């Protein structure tokens, strides 16, 4: 029995329609029909074919890995697809190092300019101080023979204006010190579980952010489906995206969980409030479960 017939038989055995399988897996009905008819050429790519079959098998109660192994001869080979030569974590570190080096090179001329300005100000201050000291010495010499003598009346009469100012100043309330504003806690993303297999599911725990925005940027072709929570409502249209598509931005502040499935993890970048959420496995098809605390 071919793999498509086996999946159709399992679906019919559970009395499920193609529409119900589409709602569960977020795979378009025409792709499900192509899988049942073993018409894999109509699917978007070899990796998507294998990913869709795994999702279909899981939805009808079959073991995805067992189905893939028993029907491996029927499935399209993935040898022609580009291999992932290094993990996204390594790529992020490489880009970070490059950005740091470039930033210092750009800032170096500015640092030199600041040093020169400080030097010029210091020289101006030095010559100004020397000129001021010289003028004070001349004035002191001219006034050595002059004696300013106050009369006894002037010595006894206090300065009424100064007294009033001192009394008035004692009655003025001290300015209240402003309390520093509390800093908003920083967002922390912790990988609490790493998935295994050819379609691994990884779990992240996000803390320290009441307002949260999900951003997904595309650098290549990638099938993408996002729901909140897992098995819940669609946050975006489940389809194949490419590098020419604009980044997806979704406010997820009201959700406790976001579920992401992709057919090509290297083709996209997932962020929560500009914090990159990595795909930790070196495989193409991966899933992310993001829980907010």
**Segment 120-177, tens digit of pLDDT:** 898 888 888 887 776 665 555 554 555 443 444 444 444 545 545 555 444 555 555 5
Q: What distance in Å separates the CA atoms of residue 52 and residue 269, rounded to the nearest whole number?
A: 21
Model pLDDT, residue 141: 52
Residue 234's contacts (CB-CB under 8 Å, 6 or more residues apart) are 26, 225, 226, 227
Model pLDDT, residue 165: 53
pTM for this model (two decimals): 0.50
Torsion (CA) 216, 217, 218, 224 in degrees, nearest 10: 0
The residue that leads in pLDDT, 57 or 107, is: 57
Label residue 81 by pLDDT band (50, 70, 90): very low
* Residue 62 reports pLDDT greater than 80: yes
Residue 228's contacts (CB-CB under 8 Å, 6 or more residues apart) are 235, 252, 255, 257, 258, 259
Label residue 107 by pLDDT band (50, 70, 90): confident
DSSP type of residue 220: S
Q: What is the mean pLDDT of residues 259-277?
A: 94
**Residue 21 half-sphere exposure toward CB, CA atoms < 13 A:** 29
Please check whether residue 235 is in contact with residue 259, taking contact to mean a CB–CB distance below 8 angstroms. no
Quote the mean pLDDT of the chain: 81
**Cα distance from N-terminal residue to C-terminal residue, the chain:** 47
The residue that leads in pLDDT, 210 or 95, is: 210
* Residue 291 reports pLDDT greater than 80: yes
Model pLDDT, residue 132: 76
The residue that leads in pLDDT, 6 or 109, is: 6
**Residue 5 half-sphere exposure toward CB, CA atoms < 13 A:** 3
Model pLDDT, residue 279: 96
* Residue 94 reports pLDDT greater than 70: no
């Amino acid at each position: 029995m071919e793999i498509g017939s086996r999946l159709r038989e399992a679906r019919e055995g559970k009395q499920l329609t193609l529409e119900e399988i589409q709602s569960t897996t977020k795979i378009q009905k025409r792709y499900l029909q192509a899988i049942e008819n073993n018409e894999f050429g109509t699917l978007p790519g070899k990796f998507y074919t294998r990913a869709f079959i795994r999702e279909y098998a899981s939805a009808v109660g079959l073991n995805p890995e067992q189905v893939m192994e028993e029907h491996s001869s029927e499935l399209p080979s993935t040898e022609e697809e580009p291999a992932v030569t290094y993990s996204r974590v390594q790529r992020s570190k490489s880009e970070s190092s490059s950005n740091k080096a470039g930033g210092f090179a750009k800032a170096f001329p500015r640092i030199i300019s600041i040093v020169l300005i400080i030097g010029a100000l210091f020289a101006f201050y030095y010559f100004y101080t020397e000129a001021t000291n010289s003028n004070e010495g001349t004035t002191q010499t001219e006034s050595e023979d002059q004696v300013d003598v106050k009369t006894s009346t002037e010595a006894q009469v206090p300065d009424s204006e100064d007294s009033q100012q001192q009394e008035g100043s004692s009655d003025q309330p001290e300015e209240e010190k402003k309390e520093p504003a509390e800093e908003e806690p920083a967002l922390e993303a912790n990988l609490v579980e790493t998935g295994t297999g050819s379609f691994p599911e990884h779990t992240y725990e996000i803390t320290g952010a009441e307002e949260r925005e999900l951003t997904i940027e595309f650098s290549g072709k990638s099938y993408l489906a996002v729901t909140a929570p897992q098995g819940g409502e669609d946050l975006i249209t489940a389809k194949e995206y490419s590098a020419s598509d604009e980044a997806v931005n979704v406010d997820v502040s009201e959700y406790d969980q976001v579920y992401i499935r992709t057919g090509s993890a290297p083709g996209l970048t997932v962020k929560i409030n500009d914090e990159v959420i990595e795909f930790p496995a070196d495989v193409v098809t991966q899933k992310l479960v993001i829980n907010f605390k």
